[in-house]
Structure 1
């Protein structure tokens, strides 16, 4: 950053529609410290779409869904990467940047999907379905990725499945994502029983109640939601696809059936659109705060490490995905 570097005072205008002015002084000191520390340490912050607005709009350098963060991580020239997201995302950034320091502000920022499957589970699935390729969602540990043939995200899952040119695949670990992709392709998909603890809570009744309470609302759902929820929606797609839909179609009234902060972050760019906010929080994403991002940069915590032999195999699965 040059002599015109932003400060907390100048950045408030980005988020004034979603953060009350009375709350801003609570964030300002950490924001100014983080901006300074990034310059001093040659660091960048990668933030997922589910991060809160003061992180997403005020200290992050790169924002997006899992696929965007994975792609952009490869282009980072900074020496230090702080991943404002969950642990599997930090591992993916490290896989793609093995020579850089990657920090995760809170080691407890996990994921119910990543926790739902182990490397041993993948090996057992291979034994049960010999010769069937394994497509693994990026919402998994590096150890699980290492047992896979190729990774995918919610944004590219269909393209990845069809890129293999086979009649059936094993798709792990999100059962609902697998079912929603199976409805879009002729490839037979063998699923696992993992679920996202945020998206599995939405129901078709929720959608119908929202439509009744807010006539004319456009409903956008994440494909980690149950298929019957996706069927009730007007559009289903990754967080990036939902954001793109809002920008392209500009519905007068919209609801994003996904994690809470997504609506806050997207609404900043579209003040004329009414966002209805059904609030299902991801407790793991919300473990990341300005305070622990600052501490990560000040104290170099928590450094993400991956066993080198395991990393080689996991990196290959991610790189195959990025080549699709």
Structure 2
């Protein structure tokens, strides 16, 4: 009787692929299959720890897409959500891009469609469209300049001050950019990441006051970013210990942190990389329930299935990809391509 292969233990359930744990046998098989397929494995900072640990590269969405474009391997396995794999395909049109579970979507990317953006542009025909990289390929194709959370301020500041700006889709990042730039002719789409929006100001205020010696790392997508700046502005918390950061910026800041404890307001997968970057610091989530179920759909079973069966491939229409690539390249040309998200 034939022995079942490890991949044959994969079970497809309503919450994603299961049936396999991240054992040494699993890791060995993933490595073998990746080498056989000439593939490199990329993992976003919000992925499960075992996925981050098996990856060749871990980082922010745009940073990983740029790594994909430069990688010698011909196959990219993007462990993240669907728009991230699309961005990798946009920047690597001649490579095969796989996502371990094509059902891994994004509430923020889904908060604006290409048709909605066309209608919004029609209402403001002379405006410059600035889209966060957390958008679909179709939205990027209708965008003038993309941005990341680490360079959004620079991107908006580079635009003629007399031109209207349509900023999308994240309302909290948009509010942060408007506050920093002081730009009044900036219209902000009312989209949000359900995970980041759920990290509220009351939680952050309570945590900050109960940990007065900690530093605060806050992602600008969070609903509590304004509260963090308010605490600093009112003197309730030292301003030099409040940091509004992209996920890539958080890793850099962790290495330079001087406090023994850091409160982190973002998706909890980020804690794994922060603890690896600065093992002597106590990193604690502002909200320990801030977990993205879409990110967590990239399970050990999903990754093994993807490599074993060469699934699921991400395709982007060539014309859409070309237009989207131009919006990303305009951002890079400004001189600060950021660290990803």
Same fold (TM over 0.5): yes
Aligned to 2:14: none
SS of aligned partner of 1:225 = coil
Query: Which runs of 5 or more structure 2 residues have no equivalent in the other structure?
Result: 1-19, 233-241, 335-341
Q: Deviations over 1:84-117 (max 9, x none)?
A: 1000000000001111100011111111111111
CA distance in 2, matches of 1:77, 1:164: 36
The alignment status of 1:48 with 2:56, answered yes or no, reads: no
Aligned to 2:310: 300
Aligned to 2:226: 228
The alignment status of 1:258 with 2:266, answered yes or no, reads: yes
Kindly report which structure 2 residues correspond to 1:92-241, keeping only aligned pairs within 5 A, or say none: 92-167=87-162, 168-188=164-184, 189-226=186-223, 227-231=225-229, 232=231, 234-241=242-249
C-alpha RMSD of the superposition: 1.7
Kindly report which structure 2 residues correspond to 1:238-249, keeping only aligned pairs within 5 A, or say none: 238-249=246-257
> Could you state the TM-score of these two structures normalised by the residue count of structure 1?
0.88
Kindly report which structure 2 residues correspond to 1:279-318, keeping only aligned pairs within 5 A, or say none: 279=288, 280-318=290-328
Contact 2:100 2:305 in 1 (8 A): yes
Q: Deviations over 1:147-174 (max 9, x none)?
A: 1111111111111112223333111110
SS of aligned partner of 2:43 = strand
Contact 1:267 1:273 in 2 (8 A): yes
CA distance in 2, matches of 1:250, 1:288: 34
Residues 294 and 143 (structure 1 numbering): CA distance in 2 closer, same or farther, change over 3 Å?
same
Q: Which has the higher contact order (CA 8 A, sep 6+)?
A: 2
SS of aligned partner of 1:108 = coil
SS of aligned partner of 1:111 = coil
Residues 108 and 230 (structure 1 numbering): CA distance in 2 closer, same or farther, change over 3 Å?
farther
CA distance in 1, matches of 2:51, 2:22: 13
The alignment status of 1:33 with 2:26, answered yes or no, reads: no
Contact 2:46 2:295 in 1 (8 A): yes
Aligned to 2:238: none
